[in-house]
Every structure is written in structure tokens, then in C-alpha cells.
Amino acid sequence: MSFIYVPPATTGATGSLIFLQTLTANNSATIDLEGIDSTYQNYMVFGSNINCAGQTVTCRFKINGTYQTTNYSWAMQILDDASPTSIYSRSTSVTTTSIYLADALTYGNGGFELLLQNPSNTTYNKTIFYKGGGKSQPTNISSAVGSGTCTTGTQAVTGLRFLPTYAATFTTGTFTLYGVKQS
């Protein structure tokens, strides 16, 4: 599954993606994409070929020099072909330790696209928007769309950490960070 994101224009112009960095997982507990600052109003992350031993990919924000481990709220809607007529939602009504991005990726071709808007703005909590999916069983696939935020405060976000649930590792995966240049 592949999606192409076209960022919203601010003055009738279109945006372009500026490559910043790629990290490749190899039995990695976390993947940290840093260097997010006020250079770009929006940032995109693409995750591909992700395998994390049947666990869910999650995301944390780096705020004030520390990856936050509390105060996340998120919601996502999931479609799983194990039951093609079933669309279900997952969300938190209380804060959690990270934002859930994609469910149970076991078979090595999971992926996601994520948008972080205005990471340097200090007026509002930062929100991410994402879509992704992958194989949860040898013949099953699921997809998800959602959003999430960290309610710790309105300070700038300077990094994103990706980690699987339940202390699993990313056996494979490529995580690429882009700045969205308004042209």
C-alpha cells in the first residue's frame, strides 16, 4: 500500500519534500529521528518494510530535550481483512506512554506516513496525523488512519522516537524524515 501526501498550500503554492535523514532498523529497540526545528513548518516521516515481531509501532515526542513517556492521547480507525466488513476504532480516553500508529506488524512489509505540523509553534500542543498498515498474518493485512498528541505542554517538538510495544524490537524497517518546503 502506498500513499502520496500533498501538503496544504499556505499561499496557493505547493510544497516539496526535502530529504533530511534515513535510519535503518536492525534489531533496534528504538529509532530516533532528530533535528526537527523551525526550518520547516511541517515534517513528514515515511516508515517502510517494518517488522516488529507482532507488536504495534508507536511514536513519542522529544520535548525540552527529553522523549516524553506520559501524557499521550490518540485515536485511530482500523480495517483488517481478516473480517472485511469490520472497521473498528481504538483510542485513549486517558493518557498513555506513546501514540499507536500501526497494529501488529509481523511479516516485514508494514509501513506508515506521518505528518507533524508546526513543531516549533509554542501556542498549541503538537499533533501528528498518520496512515499505515501491513501484514498481521501471512495472508492478512490491516490498515489504519489516526492522529495523536502529547499533552505535556506547548513547547517545541525537536525529535520523534519510534518503538514497538511490549519491549519488542524492529527487526527490519527504514524510517525517513523530510522537511516540507513551501515553494
What distance lies between CA 70 and its chain's CA centroid?
17
pLDDT value at position 156?
95
Q: Is residue 10 part of a domain?
A: no
CATH number, domain with residue 107: 2.60.120
C-alpha dist (Å) from residue 7 to 13, 16, 53, 73, 119: 10, 8, 32, 24, 15
Q: Distance between CA atoms of 65 and 85, rounded to whole angstroms? A: 44
SS3 category, 164? strand
CB 125, CB 174: distance < 8 Å: no
| Per-residue pLDDT tens digits of the chain, which is 183 residues long | 344 444 444 444 456 999 999 999 999 999 999 999 999 999 999 999 998 887 888 999 999 999 999 988 888 888 777 665 556 566 665 568 888 887 666 666 788 999 999 999 999 889 999 998 887 676 777 788 899 999 888 999 999 999 998 889 999 999 999 999 876
Q: Is residue 68 part of a domain?
A: yes
Q: Tally the domains of the chain.
A: 1
**pTM of the predicted protein model:** 0.86
Nearest CA to 144 out of 85, 64, 78 is that of 78
Domain containing 21 equals: 17-182
Burial of residue 21, with CB atoms counted within 10 A of its CB: 0-12 exposed, 13-18 middle, 19 or more buried: exposed
Q: Is residue 12 part of a domain?
A: no
